[in-house]
Amino acid sequence: MRLELYGIARLRAGRPALDVDAASVGEALEALRRACPGLDPGHLLLSLNGERFVSDPALRLAPGDTLVVLNAEAGG
């Protein structure tokens, strides 16, 4: 499955995307944490296939799914 990173998440990761072997949202976040230690998974928003936001780590992913990763921190 593919993780597409945007905004601050992309800057902190130093890459626009990452392909990982993950069967759930939790596994995908763990793979992202290992590959990009500068990202804090607690401060990310995830969109499944660009259709809906998800947060349940147990949510199963299908082959070909994409998680769009955005940083949830906001300035003011």
Domains delineated in the chain:
2-71 (3.10.20.30)
CA 68, 59, 72, 33 dihedral sign is negative
pTM recorded for the entire structure: 0.89
- Alpha helices, DSSP H, located in the chain: 8-13, 25-35
Q: What is the pLDDT along the chain (76 residues), one digit of tens a residue?
A: 999 999 999 999 999 999 999 999 999 999 999 999 888 877 899 999 999 999 999 999 999 999 999 988 755 4
Per-residue model confidence (pLDDT) at position 72: 82
Sheet with 52-54, edge to edge strand ranges: 17-19, 2-5, 66-71, 44-48, 52-54
Q: 10: phi > 0 → left, psi -120 to 50 → alpha, else beta; which?
A: alpha
* Residue carrying structure tokens 């230690």: 37
